[in-house]
Amino acid sequence: MAVYRRSRRHRFFLVLLALTSVTVLTLDYRGAGDGTLESVRQTARDTFAPVQAAADWVVSPVAGFFGSVGDFGDLRSDNARLRRQLDEARADAIRGADADRERRGLLQLQGLDYAGGLDSVPARVVSTAPTNFQLTITIDRGSDARLDVGMPVVTSAGLVGRIIQVSSARSTVLLITDPQSNVGVRLASSGEPGVARGGGTRNPMPLDLITTEVPVDVGEPVVTSGLERGLFPAQIPVGRVRSTSAPPGALQKEILLDPRVDLVRLEFVRILLWKPAG
């Protein structure tokens, strides 16, 4: 009898807690309560930020060691690859400088925003978000530094993602490799527009082209298109075409991109002070 009553009380307790969770979930999901929940969240983040920064400072050498053990074998091949890429990049830069000037003029004519001409704010990557499901990072700047939801995040190599949450001292950035991310892009050679989707961490990004009959070369660079109502300004490098294949019977080629930025090992990023229209 005692056991029965005890387990019934436990079950009541479980239902109570589960219902509370569901209520909070629903409120948050519907954006109800005039952003009360969101402000609770922001306060919690800002309060915890200095503590987290201190702890991070203490543990980062240790954690860095653990992190680098797995990477050590990659370093040698990384080095060779980087040298080769540097050569390519130097050549590209010379060609690019001229094309860039031309492009800027054209974009200006079309009234599109050009990423190179925007103000930006530097930020340090504090941590990856403590989740296994969304590919996000936390950066150490927030609304105090004029950041806002929707702003693009880049490094000198290219596109990282966009801000999805902001508190006064911290922001969360959704990486372009997250399956929920879509980036409007353009093939650099043909100018053909398409959409690059996130394929998950360390995976290539699938690219859907609007038209199917376009020649696509492996290694071809892909940049943001900045088309009207796009989430990103034009001309931010996104990646390079890794492979193309045409499965039998498919209407579209399967195109995969390698992101330009090493999204697994980010340390510093820049946030472009630009918001998508609408």
Partner 1 sequence: MRSDPRLRLPIMLIVALLVQTTVLARMRVWGVMPDFMLLLAVAAGLTAGAAQGAALGFASGMLIDLFLPTPLGLSALVFTLVGYGVGVANTGVLRSAWYIPVLVAGGASMAGVVLYALIGSVLGEQMIDGHLATIALVVGVSNAVLAPVAVRFVAWSLGSSKGRRSSKAGAARST
Phi-psi region of 54 (alpha: psi -120 to 50; beta: other; left: phi over 0): alpha
Among 34, 77, 95, 130, binds partner 1 (CB under 8 A): 130
* DSSP single-letter state for residue 198: P
Of 80-88, 96-104, 117-125, 132-140, the segment contacting partner 1 by CB under 8 A is 132-140
Q: 120: burial class by Cβ within 10 Å (0-12, 13-18, 19+)?
A: middle
Nearer to partner 1, 44 or 82 (CB): 44
78 makes contact with partner 1 (CB under 8 A): no
Q: How many CB atoms lie within 10 A of CB 126?
A: 18
Distance between first and last Cα of the chain: 63
Distance from C-alpha of 142 to C-alpha of 146, rounded to nearest angstrom: 7
Contacts of 235 (CB under 8 A, 6+ apart): 103, 107, 114, 115, 116, 223, 224, 226
Distance from C-alpha of 259 to C-alpha of 242, rounded to nearest angstrom: 9
Nearer to partner 1, 56 or 228 (CB): 56
72 makes contact with partner 1 (CB under 8 A): no
36 makes contact with partner 1 (CB under 8 A): no
Nearer to partner 1, 66 or 72 (CB): 66
149 makes contact with partner 1 (CB under 8 A): no
Among 8, 32, 35, 55, binds partner 1 (CB under 8 A): 55
Among 1, 34, 62, 213, binds partner 1 (CB under 8 A): 62
Among 118, 121, 195, 264, binds partner 1 (CB under 8 A): 264
Q: Where are the alpha helices (DSSP H) in 111-190?
A: none
Among 67, 117, 122, 215, binds partner 1 (CB under 8 A): 67
Distance from C-alpha of 217 to C-alpha of 187, rounded to nearest angstrom: 10
Helix or strand holding residue 192 (H, E): none
Of 48-56, 83-91, 214-222, 240-248, the segment contacting partner 1 by CB under 8 A is 48-56
- Residue ranges in contact with partner 1 by CB under 8 A: 2-3, 6-7, 9-10, 13-14, 17-18, 20-25, 27-29, 37, 40-41, 44-45, 48, 51-52, 55-56, 59-60, 62-64, 66-67, 127-134, 136, 164-165, 172, 174, 179-180, 200-202, 264
